[in-house]
Amino acid sequence: MIRVSAPGKIYFCGEHAVVYGKHGIAGSVNLRTYVEVERSSEFLIDSYLGISRSLPSEIYPYVSRAVEKISEFHKPEPLKIKITSEIPPASGLGSSASVTVAVLKALSLAYDLELEREEIARIAHEVERDVQGSASRTDTFVSTFGGIRMLPEGEEVSMKGHADIIIAFTGVSSSTKELVSSVRALRDRYPEILDEIMDVIDALSFRVKEKLEKGDLRSLGELMNINQGLLDSIGVSNKQISSMVYAAREKGAYGAKITGAGGGGSIIVLSPPEKSEEIKEALSPLARSVLRTSIDFQGVREE
């Protein structure tokens, strides 16, 4: 049996702007999707959705498409694929990307393909694009390589200092495709305004990189708060998200913002370690789940 895992991701800055070729900074976190594969007489997929025979694309579109992509390298012999995850689906934490990356790595090992990380990241992005219609390469790239990355180039960004990262899931699933479409429609109506906002987010990403590398966490939090205001202005925040963001800030967070497409999903909180428990307590009545986590620097790996 082969066991592989790949991490989820958060955005420090840049979601939605990356769709328009702007910069963003994302990091992988130590919440993982685990994939186990073993030989079988037929394809079986075992997950929280139950056990499915064959590869039903309507239930498992990412797994199905990943197998199709791998078939370009190797005739896919039947496998039992078991998927478990610490990442809530449709939570803004890159759950589909982590599944895709982990499945591709597991298939590469099972079929002795020896795919390099670059190849896994490229194929995983193609899978997400095929399934979603369009997709940033951020989620799949960060899940494959780990660490903190500046997109679109993929440059690794160091982080000095120590702060906790708290993730609070609203409990409301969100559709990245629908939210990207709604922002695009707003841009179509007000192109000069939305383009200015995306340019500001682009500039923010360079300042975020600077503050991460200097370990100036208080300023990093301020920049995250500015980014949250811009995300609110383009219509991807809501009352629940705002209440969570302000609850965290009022308890001493350096910064708090949406991570991912918004509209539900999750927020991230940059917290001084001594404030984390108090912040978690403040968020618990407002969120489905609250997790204290940290940056993952390994990316996809064999367990």
Q: What would you measure as the largest C-alpha separation in the chain, in angstroms?
A: 58
Q: Where are the domains of the chain?
A: 2-155, 159-293
For residues 3-15, average pLDDT: 97
Confidence at residue 185, expressed as pLDDT on a 0 to 100 scale? 97
Confidence at residue 58, expressed as pLDDT on a 0 to 100 scale? 66
31-40, 98-107, 134-143, 190-199: least confident range: 134-143
Please list, in sequence order, all residues whose beta carbon lies within 8 angstroms of the beta carbon of residue 144, skipping any fewer than 6 positions away.
6, 101, 117, 120, 121, 124, 299, 300
Q: Are 266 and 2 in contact (CB under 8 A)?
A: no
Confidence at residue 93, expressed as pLDDT on a 0 to 100 scale? 93
User: Of the candidates 11, 13, 15, 16, which has an alpha carbon nearest to the alpha carbon of residue 184?
Assistant: 16
DSSP secondary structure letters along 1-20: -EEEEEEEEEEEE-TTGGGG
Confidence at residue 174, expressed as pLDDT on a 0 to 100 scale? 81
pLDDT tens for 206-258 read: 999 999 999 999 999 999 999 999 999 999 999 999 999 999 999 999 999 99
Domain pair 2-155 / 159-293, same fold: no
What does the mean pLDDT of the chain come to? Answer: 94
In b/e form, how buried is each residue of 99-126, taking b as 16+ CB within 10 angstroms?
bbbbbbbbbbbbbebebeeeebbbbbbb
Q: Residue 139 pLDDT more than 70? A: yes
**% pLDDT > 70, the chain:** 98
Domain spanning 2-155: which CATH class is it, in words?
alpha beta
Residue 147 CA to residue 191 CA, distance in Å, equals: 34
Helix, strand, coil abundance in the chain, percent, nearest 5? 45, 25, 30
pLDDT tens for 44-80 read: 999 887 788 777 666 688 999 999 999 998 888 999 9
* Residue 216 annotated in active site: no
Instruction: Assign 3-class secondary structure to 147-191.
Output: CEEEECCCEEECCCCCCEEEEEECCCCCCHHHHHHHHHHHHHHCH
Enter the tokens of residue 75. Answer: 């005739």
Confidence at residue 75, expressed as pLDDT on a 0 to 100 scale? 85
- pLDDT band at 147; cut points 50, 70, 90: very high
Residue 237 CA to residue 116 CA, distance in Å, equals: 38
Residue 16 CA to residue 18 CA, distance in Å, equals: 5
Q: Are 83 and 33 in contact (CB under 8 A)?
A: yes
Q: Residue 126 pLDDT more than 90? A: yes
Beta-carbon-side half-sphere exposure of residue 196 (alpha carbons within 13 Å) = 4
Considering 130, 139, 188, 202, which one is annotated as catalytic? 139
Angle at 216 between CA 213 and CA 217, to 5 degrees: 105
- pLDDT band at 135; cut points 50, 70, 90: confident
Confidence at residue 74, expressed as pLDDT on a 0 to 100 scale? 85
pLDDT tens for 162-197 read: 899 999 999 998 888 889 899 999 999 999 999 999
Confidence at residue 123, expressed as pLDDT on a 0 to 100 scale? 97
CATH architecture of 159-293: 2-Layer Sandwich (3.30)
Confidence at residue 92, expressed as pLDDT on a 0 to 100 scale? 87
Q: Are 120 and 105 in contact (CB under 8 A)?
A: yes
